[in-house]
Structure 1
Amino acid sequence: MARQLDEQIASRFPVGQRLKVLDVGMGQGTQALRLARAGHEVTGLESDPGMLATARSALEAEPEGIRRRVRLVEGDGRDTGVHFLPGAFDVVLCHGVLMYVAEPDGLLAGLARVLAPGGLLSLLVRNGDALAMRPGLAGDWPAALAAFGTDTYTNRLGLRVRADRLDALTATLAGIGAPLTAWYGVRVFTDLAPDDAVLPAEPEALLAAEERAGRTDPYRSVAALLHLCGVRG
């Protein structure tokens, strides 16, 4: 996903431009810190105190130059209008958040509002068109059958959450003035790998296969996650 994001940034902005980035629901700050190391000014928005503490700890371990480029804010992604001015950011990330939001249209409209013209909106969502894949590949046939025709699923934390369908999100992005320009699949071949799985001897081969599948039909359509990129008009 990081490679996909870098590809979209490189296609939209001049090389070397320092961008203003908002990471909504930044979690432990993986993408925020990665982009700060690349020279960008990053604001991380996170509502979970534990995640925010982890991100702060990781930031404290970075050199001073990187720490100066990162601002951490405790808050909900639905409150972007409270924290930020319209058009304040060149890039807005919202990765792994929409599945926890029952009605995401308002949140998405708020994200588009804080994007500058020509700005990039990057979403990572659970693929609602392929919810039967995980239980089916695991041999859980009752769960696979139950997944057809639904937009909800139980995640690895045991929470009942929501998935998004490509067609519906495409229409939503067009409606908020940040139409879809590119989309990828994420975790096509590796969705069943446990969180503590040992990396293979040649991880680059795994990444290359996932990256190729993530941009190739029909493989990307059955990925566990979808990475959608829209551009503010």
Structure 2
Amino acid sequence: MARQLDEQIAGRFPVGRRLRVLDVGMGHGTRALRLARAGHQVTGLERDAALTAAARRALAGEPEGIRERMRIIEGDGRDTGVHFLPGSFDVVLCHGVLMYTEEPDPLLAGLARMLAQGGLLSLLVRNGDALAMRPGLAGDWSGALAAFDGVSCRDREGLEVRADRLATLTAKLAGIGAPLHSWYGVRVLTDTAADGTVPPKDLTALLAAEERAGRTDPYRGVAGLLHLCGVRGR
């Protein structure tokens, strides 16, 4: 995800430009901190109080310059219009949030409104076109058959989550004025790894294989997750 996002930012904005970034559903703040360390002005929005507190603790351990470039707001991603003016950000991230949102359309529209002209919207969603892959590869044939027509699955914590299909989200992004520019697969080769699997000491080959698969057809189409990048029309 980080490499894919870096590629999109580098291809859209001048080198050295300090971007205004909004991370909706920032979790522990890992993505937001990474971008703040890179010199960008970052706002993290998170509704979970425990996650917000964890992000604040992580930020407190950073050098002063980074602390000054990042702010954290406790709030719901559906209320972006309450916190910010339209067009306030060059980059808006919403990773792993839509899958927990029953009605994603208002959230998507709000995210698009936050983008300045030419701004980048980065979404990470559960791939609805590949829901049968995990149960099928695990030998759960009835689960695989049900998944072909399903719109949800269970995440690694056992929670039921929504899935989105590429064609549907492509149409929605066009409808909110941030048409799809690029897309990648995420967890193409590793989505079926068992919980508790110990990663190899040298991740270089694993990451290279995942990165290659995530941008190559037909592999990216069966990824567990999809990374979609839309661009706000000028």
TM-score for the superposition, normalised by structure 2: 0.97
1:56 corresponds to 2:60: no
The structural deviation recorded for 1:156 is 1.5
Measure, in 2, the Cα distance between the counterparts of 1:165 and 1:157: 22
Identity rate, percent: 77
The structural deviation recorded for 1:194 is 4.1
> Secondary structure of 2:62's match?
coil
User: Which region of structure 1 is more displaced relative to structure 2, 124-133 or 139-148?
Assistant: 139-148
1:7 corresponds to 2:2: no
Q: Which amino acid aligns with 1:226?
A: L
Measure, in 2, the Cα distance between the counterparts of 1:200 and 1:156: 20
> Secondary structure of 2:178's match?
coil
The structural deviation recorded for 1:135 is 1.1
Q: Specify the alignment match of 1:26 in structure 2.
A: 26
Measure, in 2, the Cα distance between the counterparts of 1:170 and 1:132: 21
Measure, in 1, the Cα distance between the counterparts of 2:195 and 2:178: 33
Which ranges of structure 2 fall in alignment gaps of 5 or more residues?
Answer: none
User: Which region of structure 1 is more displaced relative to structure 2, 115-124 or 142-151?
Assistant: 142-151
Q: Specify the alignment match of 1:206 in structure 2.
A: 206
> How far does the alpha carbon of each residue in 1:162-210 deviate from its partner, in whole angstroms, 9 at most, with x for none?
1000000000000000000000000001112245432213311100000
TM-score for the superposition, normalised by structure 1: 0.98
Measure, in 1, the Cα distance between the counterparts of 2:201 and 2:52: 33
User: Which region of structure 1 is more displaced relative to structure 2, 76-85 or 52-61?
Assistant: 52-61
Measure, in 1, the Cα distance between the counterparts of 2:97 and 2:201: 32
Which ranges of structure 1 fall in alignment gaps of 5 or more residues?
Answer: none
Aligned residue pairs total: 233
Q: Specify the alignment match of 1:103 in structure 2.
A: 103
Q: Specify the alignment match of 2:197 in structure 1.
A: 197
Structural RMSD (CA): 0.9
